[in-house]
Chain A
Amino acid sequence: MHRFSRRNLLGWIAGAASLVIFLGFQFGIFNGVWGVVAFAAAIAVGAWWLWEQWDQLRHRQRVERFAAQHGWTYSEVGPLALARGSGFPFGVGTDRRVANLIEGVYSDTRCISYDYVFKYKVADERSAVQVFTVTQASLPVPFPRLDLIPEDAGSRMLGAITGSDIDLESAEFNRAWRVLCSDRRYAVDVVDPRMMQLLLSHRMPGVAIRIEGDRVLAWSAGRADVADLRRRLDVVVGVAKRIPAHVVRTYTDAETRRRAEQDKREANAPTWAKTPGVLNSRRYTGIGVDADGDGVEDWEQRSR
């Protein structure tokens, strides 16, 4: 169902105002220059709103068609948890949502693509809607964050992602891309000559790449044309597959150790905490409950 937003309301008001002004002219209520100006302004706003609606509808239909052609699933609205991340554009602004979500497998890798929409304040009480197109490929294990920003990206994108640019051994690559990462060694390991070759041959103007957690993202401002989706998928899947094997091994080992420690902590947890339904019962607090029958209430055991 299409969201009814302030923009829609504005459009309805413009449409209603146009009708009122038209009828006003018909019945001689409005006349003169100001009447014409008001009428023209209302028509312009109404026309702009109609164009926006039509453009969004067309984009939605194209995305749906792409999903149907490739055996992917389409959802008009997606869970906001998909758009998690530690830096711009995620976590910025208000009224954040995921729209036009498609999910499927591309080149043996699970991928998704969606429009990430949010509002941000431009001045005082006014806010503007910003749309980003995000395409993701899954990674086998979590990796630290690494940003690759094209040098031709807009100043807003460049300014929003801060950090020291890491120079690599290719001057052409350094001119084309900005590599931002808190761990220089990790960045140098990941962006090896093969990765540089991929990024130079698959450049898309204004599209930034991010490796964060268990995913590779390609993100850019605006609603991207569906025709570019295949190229974006090529980039994110290519990056996911070209992370050097020794880096994958290092972080696979780290993840295995982390899970082993987590399993050990869970194994050593008190019995009441592992009981299904514990959050809905008094067992969660352990007050008045002695699950293991040792004469000490469960909440006291935690503090001993």
Chain B
Amino acid sequence: MEWFLIALLVIVVIAGLWAVGAYNGLVRLRNLVQEAWHQIDTELQRRHDLIPNLVETVKGYAKHERETLEAVTAARTAAVAPGSSPAEQAQQENILTQALGKLFALAEAYPDLKANTNFLQLQTELTNTEDRVAAGRRFYNANVRDLNTRVETFPTSIIANMFKFVKAEYFETEDPAARQAPNVQF
């Protein structure tokens, strides 16, 4: 009887240690996902901050392209609105990317605009920011994948359900054209 109790105690202790480890692992992953999201958010903020200046620069040369400029402004306003989930934010960013693509495409018809230093600089900054957003998205999705795998696989799923850990959403583009950074072809 005594040996049985000792064995039971050992099993309980081991199970308890494992549970603590599993819980801490989930917390660590969840924090990684949040941190990765904040990094993307910083880059998205930078992208949003560049757009008003871009719109003003283009307006100076192409005032008649009101529809395109308004589409960019509206898409930016929607993307900047707080409270979106990663999936919703991804959708808003996709729409913004498409609007920016059309804006850069129409710049082809305005040689003076294409040669404008401010426009070129903004275009380069936007491209660089897009690269960092893409890199941030990969890192964020990698962390989400790890978290979701842990939450779903047995036996960690037991701890995840007990302590209300949920799967995170991926941040991904849907439109293949939107995978390309907006760029003017000279």
Contact = CB atoms under 8 A, between A and B. Distances in A.
Interface of A: 167-169, 184-185, 188-189, 192, 244-247, 249
Contacts of B17: none
Interface residues of B, number: 12
Contacts of B139: 184-185, 188-189
A168 to B, nearest CB: 7
Contacts of A192: 135, 138
Contacts of A188: 135, 138-139, 142
B142 A249 contact: no
Nearest to A193: B138
B177 to A, nearest CB: 18
A interface, over-half SS: helix
Nearest to B131: A246
B118 interface: no
Nearest to B146: A167
A246 B135 contact: yes
Contacts of B46: none
Interface in B139-170: 139, 141-142, 145-146
A169 B141 CA distance: 9
A249 B141 CA distance: 23
Contacts of A168: 142
Interface in B62-120: none
A143 to B, nearest CB: 15
B145 A249 contact: no
A144 to B, nearest CB: 15
23 contacts: A167-B142, A167-B146, A168-B142, A169-B138, A169-B141, A169-B142, A169-B145, A184-B139, A185-B36, A185-B39, A185-B139, A188-B135, A188-B138, A188-B139, A188-B142, A189-B135, A192-B135, A192-B138, A244-B131, A244-B135, A246-B128, A246-B131, A249-B128
Contacts of B141: 169
Contacts of A247: 135
A246 B39 CA distance: 15
A244 B131 CA distance: 9
A20 B141 CA distance: 74
Nearest to B135: A189
A167 B149 CA distance: 12
Contacts of B135: 188-189, 192, 244, 246-247
